Amino acid sequence: MITALSSVERPLRSAAPPSPRNGPGLKCADFFCGIGGFHLAARNLGLEVVFACDIDEPARKAYHANFGLRPAGDIVSLRPDDVPDHDLLFAGFPCQPFSIIGRQRGFADPRGTLFFQVLRFIQAKRPLGIVLENVKQLKTVDKGKVLRRILEDISDFGYSVDYKVLNALDYGLPQKRERTIIVATRQPFDSFPWPSHTTPRKPLADILESEPDAKHYVSTAIRHKRHKAHTAKFSPAIWHENKGGNVSSHEWSCALRAGASHNYLLVDGERRLTPRELLRLQGFPDSWEIVCNDAQTRKQAGNAVPVPMVQTVIKRMVRIIERTQIARRQAAP
């Protein structure tokens, strides 16, 4: 059951939105930014990210090293005046309260209520567009009540809202990573123009390093156990061991997870994925500078958003905003 929140925890309904901002390009704010999957997608589209925040210090370190923008810390401590005005708001708010891996407690988990922190800034900043990302299971938590609450709260601020579950496999990445994407714009729409076609998937062989460091290979005991339990029909393959101990293999990776066993995914049942391979599976280029240790980079990749997937969504949102601004300029006396 979704519990009611006090006026301190839940923003008040907003008055009419201000006029759209004009300028040479759209500006973006990146909440719960992680290492910057949303930022990278936005930059690829020629957009400017003017603000970012995340509570995780190593993620902030990686973000700053690669974008030159130092993220702020905990969103709870931020005031609206701390955040520059922006046209697009991105947020990959914490997924653990809604994940199938966890207990799916939703808003009963204190981390789940961090979504209402995002609402604070939607209310205060009135961005033209919003893109939120969370796990696939978000739509089923508490029989759909959590997702309905999220959609209704955004809609109550005067936004058109839609959502869809997208899979990174359909956007060129060899990773089965299904995510709920929520979009909202101040411009009314009947339904958001979600992508209707898939991008050819990059072969797994193009992701894997040719000479990985020996430290990534598992012990003889683990290797023998995997090969005794499973025989793959193709190579290269990612061998996946689920929570029940069952082993399967695929020509793509199962979803990366920040907190999974280090041996959750093995290349051909022999070795763990390297930090560079993990980043590639999320769409980060090889120019991405790895500045944290292997454990932190593994966690960061597991928490990241697939770049090509959200880039496609952001591109379509920008088209809606640009069409609206053009129409208003043409209608002006």
Q: Which of 28, 53, 95, 254 is catalytic?
A: 95
Q: 183 forms bridges with which residues in the sheet?
A: 131, 162
Q: Who contacts 210 (Cβ-Cβ below 8 Å, separation ≥6)?
A: none
Q: Hey, what are 143's tokens?
A: 């029989």
Say whether 292 is catalytic.
no
Sign of the C-alpha dihedral computed for residues 82, 87, 92 and 98 taken in this order: positive
Other Cβ atoms less than 10 A from the Cβ of 240: the count is: 18
Please write down the long-range contacts of 63-67, taking CB distance under 8 Å and 24 or more positions apart. 63/33, 63/34, 63/35, 63/36, 63/39, 65/289, 65/291, 66/35, 66/36, 66/288, 66/289, 67/36, 67/39, 67/43
Measured distance between the N- and C-terminal CA atoms of the chain, rounded to whole angstroms: 52
CB 266 within 8 A of CB 239: yes
Residues belonging to the active site: 95
